[in-house]
Amino acid sequence: MTLDSSAEQLNLLKISGDYNKFKDLLRSRLYECGWVDQIHMICRETKKNSMNIGIDDMYTEVAKKGRALVPASVKRELLLKVKDKLLLSAGYYDE
């Protein structure tokens, strides 16, 4: 079995139930490292500095900063787990 596209890979993760496991892992790691608290502070500051900011503009502003604040260790852990799962599913190594 080969997984040629990102859409196929994502679909495989969703069907197997691993997508939600990875999402839960990411969520817990972001809480553990304090990222969620940082985002809450950024939201408060953005709202305070721009009283009339719309939700779409706030999302755009916070999303840019938030992506940059995700620790490399969290990104690396999740990437390795997803990669291992996809390689295992494609038959590159045995369970």
Q: Indicate which CATH number applies to the domain containing 12.
A: 1.10.246.140
Q: Is residue 59 part of a domain?
A: yes
pTM of the complete model: 0.78
Q: Is residue 1 part of a domain?
A: no
89 touches 12 (CB < 8 A): yes
* Whole-number pLDDT of residue 50: 84
Torsion of CA 14, 21, 71, 79, to 10 degrees: -50
Dihedrals phi, psi of 3, to nearest 5 degrees: -110, 100
Q: Which domain holds residue 18?
A: 6-89
* Whole-number pLDDT of residue 53: 87
Q: Is residue 66 part of a domain?
A: yes
Residue 4 is classified by DSSP as -
- Over residues 27-64, the pLDDT tens digits come to 999 999 999 999 999 999 998 988 888 999 999 989 99
